[in-house]
Structure 1
Amino acid sequence: MLVANPRAVRAPYPAELKSLMSIERAQESRLWLSPWPELARGATPLYELPDLAAKLNVARISVKDESVRSPLGSFKALGAPIALVRQVLRLHPDLDPAALLTGRHAEMLKDYTVISATDGNHGRGLAAAARSVGCRCVIVLHANVSLEREQAIAVHGARIVRIAGNYDESVEEAARLAAAHGWQVVSDTSYDGYEDIPRDVMQGYATIAAEIVEQTGAVANEAGAFTHVFLQGGVGGLAAGLASYLWEHHGAQRPCFIVVEPRQADCLFQSALQGRAAKATGSVDSVMAGLACGETSPLAWRFLQPGIDAFMTIEDGAAVQAMRVLAAGSGRDIPIVAGESGVAGLAGLLALRRDAAWSQQVGLDECSRVLLISTEGATAPAVYEELVGEPADAVLKRQAAWLAR
C-alpha cells in the first residue's frame, strides 16, 4: 500500500524543528560518540548497485551499509549511547562527555540504572553503552524477540525481563518498572512528558546523514546526489533523524522521502491517513522485528508529518526477497548482508517499480537516483540463514572476493 502525504512541504527547514534537532547538535553527538570503542572509526560504506539500478530502470541505487557501524551490527549503536551520555550530563553537567563512554566516570555511576523495552537492536546498543559508562541496565523483551537476540543483549551484562505481550506492552512494562524502582527509561519512542531522551536517540541517528552528505559532496541549500531516499518505519525515529538532517542541509531542494514499514505494523501509514500520531491496525508481529511497532512516536511525527512525501507498507515476503537480492550481488553489485529490518527500503523500491502508477505518484523514473539505508546486518544469524538460504558468513566471503577483484 502507498499513500502520498498531503501535508509534506518543500520549504527551508522550519525553525521550530531546528530548535529540537539540528545539524549543529548532530555534529556534537558525533564528536562525543567518537571515542567509544564499540564504534567503527570511519564512515560506513556507501555502495553503488549499477546492475540493480539498470534492472529497475532508475539512474542510480546507492546503499549505506550500517551492518559495519559497530560489532553490535546495526545503526542503533548511534542512538542509545548518545542518549545515555546526554542523560548523564543532565544529572552531572560538569562531566566530560567524551570521557563517559570510555568508563572514566564508572565509579560515580555504578548505582545508576537505565531501562528500556526493545525488539533487539536498541536494547543491545543501550546494554553495551551502559557497560561502557559503568551503570546498570535492565532490558524488557516481549514474546516475539528471539532467544538469539536476548543472548546478544545479555552478553553485555544487562538484566533481562521477559513479558508475554508485544512491543508496545513491553514499553509499558519498562515505564512501570522504572517508576517503581526509580530507574531511568532510555527509549527511542516518545510519549506524553517524555521527549528529551527520544530526541537524543533520533539525533544520534543523524550521524548517518552527516556521513552521506560528506561522502557525496552535497552542497548546502542545493539538490544533492539523490532524488529519492527510502527510510525504515518503526516508531519513526530513524526516519525523523535522517530526514531532519538532510532537510536542514538541502532546504527546499531536499530529496523525496519515502517511509516503508510492515503491513501489520502500519502505525506511520495510519498516521499519514489520519494526520496525527496513530496506532497500527494489524497484529504488529512481523519478520521485520525491528519495525514491529504498534504506535507512532509523537515526537518523531512532528518531523515526519511535514517532511515525508509518501508512506508505504510491505509484506514480510517482500523483505525476505530483498534480503536475497542484496545477498546475491552480481557482476557489478557487491553482495551485502542485510537483516530483515534493514531491507525495508529496497523492498519498497522493488514494489514501486512493479507498479507504474505508484512510481508516477512519487516521481520515480529512469532519471531517479535512489538512496537506501541498510540499517542492520545479520543481528540474528540463525534467522538470517533461514530466510536467505545461506549463512551470513558465506555472503561476507563472497563480498570479500568481490572487493578483492
Structure 2
Amino acid sequence: MFYVNPHAMRGPYPADLQTIMSIARAQQSREWLSHWDGLVPGSTPLRALPDLAASLGVRSVLVKDEALRSALGSFKALGAPIALVRLLLRRFEGHGFTARSLLNGEHRDALAAAGFTVVSATDGNHGRALAAAAQSIGCRCVIVLHAQVSVEREQAIAAYGAQIVRIAGNYDDSVEEAAALAERNECKGWHVVSDTSYDGYEIIPRDVMQGYAAVAAEVSEALDGDASPKDAACPITHVFLQGGVGGLAAGIVSYLWERWGVWRPTFVVVEPEQADCLYQSAMAGKAASASGAVDSVMAGLACGETSPLAWRFLQPAVDAFMTVTDAQAVDAMKRLATGTGNDVPFVAGESGVAGLAGLRLAAATPAMASALGLTSGSRVLLINTEGATAPSVYADLVGESATSVTQRQQAWLAR
C-alpha cells in the first residue's frame, strides 16, 4: 500500500514543534550520552552502497548503521537512557544529580532508598536499552513482554538485571499492563519510561525521541551539512524511515526539518503491511490504529497504535506512507548481508531493513517513483536501526549467522 500525504508541507520548521524537539536539545542529549559507557564512542558508520544505488536507478544510497551503536545492537540505546536521565533530574531536582553522575552510577544508594523503579513495555530493543541504562544508573527496572516476544529477546533483557513480566496479547496490551503496574505501585516510586505516548503521557516519549535525533545529527555532520549555507538544499533528497509507533521517524524528521527548512528531504515512512498504524493515520488524518493482526517478522515495528505525540511531527512532514511484506524485508536482509564487489556486506536485522524494502519497492514501481520524485539523481538515506538482536532468528531468515556475515565484512574491508 502507498499513500501520498496531502498534509505534508515544505515551510520552515514550525515554532510549536521546536518547543517540543529541537536541534539544541538533541545536541544536549548527545553530550550527555558521551558520558555513558553503554555506547561505543564516536559516530556509527554511514555506509555508501554504489552497486545497490545503480541497481535501483538512483544516484546514491547511504545507510546509517545503528547496529554498531552499542552492545545492545540498536538505535534504542540513544532514547531510553536520555529519557531516564531527564526523568531523574526532574524527580530529584535539588539533590545535586547531573547527567554524568547518574550515568556513572553515583546515586544508586539514594535511588534504592527511594524505591525508584522504572517499568516499560517492549518488543525487545527499547526494553533492553532501558534495562541497561537502569543497571548503569542503579535503579530497579521491570519490563513487560507480550506473547510474541521471543525467549531469546527476553533473556537479552534479563541479562541486564531487569525483572520480566509476561502477559498474553500483543504490544499494545503490554503498554496497557505497564501503565497499570506503574499506577498500582505509584506510591512505591514506580514510573513508566515508554517510547510511545498516550493520553496524558507525552513528556518521557518526547525525551526518548529527542535521543533518537542524535542519528540525524551525525548524518548531518558526516555530509558536512552544518557547514553549508542555511538556505542550501539538503545533500540527501530522500529518507526512507521505519514506522513502528513513529518515535524514530519523528526524531529524525524533526532534526532534518529544522536544519534544512524548506529544503528538507522527502520523507517516506515504511511499515509492515499488517502493522500499518501510521499508514492508517495518514489516511484518517489523525492518529489511528493498525488494520491488521500486527504480528510481523519485523518485531520492532509490530505496533498497532500510533504515538499521538510522534504523529504531531509526522503528519506535516512525511510526504508518503507505505507498507511492505515480511518477505520483502527478508529479501532486503539477505541483500545487505551478501554485499557486492563495491558494497560492503553487513548485518541488518528484521526491522532494520524496512527502509530498504520500501525503497526497493518504490524504485520498481513507476507510479510510486514518480510520486516521490525518485530519479537517477536521487540521493537516498536509509537507517539500519538494528543488527541481529535475536541471533537465531537472523540466522534462520538469512540462512547465515551474523558472525559469518561479519567475518565476510572484515575480509571485504581488508581487501
TM-score using structure 1 length: 0.99
* 1:262 corresponds to 2:269: no
* 1:108 corresponds to 2:110: yes
CA contact (8 A) 1:40 1:69 kept: yes
Distance 1:109 1:221, change over 3 A: farther
Match of 1:87 in 2: 87
Please report how far the alpha carbon of residue 21 of structure 1 lies from its aligned counterpart in structure 2 after TM superposition: 0.2
Please report how far the alpha carbon of residue 273 of structure 1 lies from its aligned counterpart in structure 2 after TM superposition: 0.3
Matches within 5 A, 1:290-369: 290-369=300-379
1-structure distance, mates of 2:62, 2:29: 25
Which of 208, 213, 216 is 2:220 aligned to?
Answer: 213
Match of 1:19 in 2: 19
- Kindly report the root-mean-square deviation, in angstroms, between the aligned alpha carbons of the 2 structures: 0.6
CA contact (8 A) 1:46 1:65 kept: yes
Matches within 5 A, 1:196-275: 196-218=203-225, 219=228, 220-275=230-285
Task: Report SS of the residue matched to 1:31.
Answer: helix
2-structure distance, mates of 1:222, 1:303: 22
Match of 1:194 in 2: 201
Task: Report SS of the residue matched to 2:274.
Answer: helix
Distance 1:221 1:139, change over 3 A: farther
CA contact (8 A) 1:31 1:98 kept: no
Give the partner amino acid of 2:5: N
2-structure distance, mates of 1:223, 1:62: 17
Matches within 5 A, 1:52-91: 52-91=52-91
1-structure distance, mates of 2:40, 2:263: 31
Please report how far the alpha carbon of residue 287 of structure 1 lies from its aligned counterpart in structure 2 after TM superposition: 0.2
Deviations 1:263-283 (CA, angstroms, capped at 9, x unpaired): 000000000000000000100
2-structure distance, mates of 1:212, 1:9: 23
Distance 1:107 1:305, change over 3 A: same
CA contact (8 A) 1:75 1:205 kept: yes
2-structure distance, mates of 1:261, 1:237: 13
1-structure distance, mates of 2:67, 2:231: 30
Task: Report SS of the residue matched to 1:313.
Answer: strand
Deviations 1:312-331 (CA, angstroms, capped at 9, x unpaired): 00110000000000000000
2-structure distance, mates of 1:311, 1:99: 42
CA contact (8 A) 1:221 1:249 kept: no
CA contact (8 A) 1:260 1:314 kept: yes
Give the partner amino acid of 2:109: E
CA contact (8 A) 1:230 1:260 kept: yes
Match of 2:29 in 1: 29
Deviations 1:176-213 (CA, angstroms, capped at 9, x unpaired): 11101111000000011100000000000000000000
Please report how far the alpha carbon of residue 102 of structure 1 lies from its aligned counterpart in structure 2 after TM superposition: 1.1
Matches within 5 A, 1:113-152: 113-152=117-156
Please report how far the alpha carbon of residue 225 of structure 1 lies from its aligned counterpart in structure 2 after TM superposition: 1.8
* 1:155 corresponds to 2:159: yes
Uncovered stretches (5+) of structure 2, i.e. residues with no partner: none
Deviations 1:348-376 (CA, angstroms, capped at 9, x unpaired): 00101111111001110111000000000
Which of 255, 279, 294 is 2:289 aligned to?
Answer: 279
Uncovered stretches (5+) of structure 1, i.e. residues with no partner: none
Which of 369, 387, 409 is 1:377 aligned to?
Answer: 387
CA contact (8 A) 1:136 1:158 kept: yes
Please report how far the alpha carbon of residue 107 of structure 1 lies from its aligned counterpart in structure 2 after TM superposition: 1.0
The farther-off stretch of 350-359 and 382-391 is 350-359
Give the partner amino acid of 1:184: H
Give the partner amino acid of 2:279: F
Give the partner amino acid of 1:323: M
Give the partner amino acid of 1:286: S
Give the partner amino acid of 1:151: Q
Task: Report SS of the residue matched to 1:99.
Answer: helix
Task: Report SS of the residue matched to 1:260.
Answer: strand
Please report how far the alpha carbon of residue 54 of structure 1 lies from its aligned counterpart in structure 2 after TM superposition: 0.6
Percentage of pairs with the same residue: 66
Please report how far the alpha carbon of residue 92 of structure 1 lies from its aligned counterpart in structure 2 after TM superposition: 1.6
2-structure distance, mates of 1:300, 1:98: 28
Deviations 1:45-91 (CA, angstroms, capped at 9, x unpaired): 00100001111110000000000000000000000110000000001
Count of residues in correspondence between the two structures: 405
Please report how far the alpha carbon of residue 217 of structure 1 lies from its aligned counterpart in structure 2 after TM superposition: 0.5
Please report how far the alpha carbon of residue 221 of structure 1 lies from its aligned counterpart in structure 2 after TM superposition: 3.8
Task: Report SS of the residue matched to 1:160.
Answer: strand
Please report how far the alpha carbon of residue 233 of structure 1 lies from its aligned counterpart in structure 2 after TM superposition: 0.2
Runs (4 or more) in structure 1 with deviation over 3 Å come to: none
Deviations 1:101-133 (CA, angstroms, capped at 9, x unpaired): 110111111221000000000000000000011
2-structure distance, mates of 1:224, 1:362: 16
Please report how far the alpha carbon of residue 150 of structure 1 lies from its aligned counterpart in structure 2 after TM superposition: 0.2
* 1:98 corresponds to 2:100: yes
Deviations 1:224-253 (CA, angstroms, capped at 9, x unpaired): 221000100000000000000000000110
CA contact (8 A) 1:222 1:251 kept: no
2-structure distance, mates of 1:204, 1:42: 15
Which of 366, 373, 394 is 2:404 aligned to?
Answer: 394
1-structure distance, mates of 2:92, 2:118: 16
Please report how far the alpha carbon of residue 222 of structure 1 lies from its aligned counterpart in structure 2 after TM superposition: 2.1
TM-score using structure 2 length: 0.97
Task: Report SS of the residue matched to 1:265.
Answer: coil
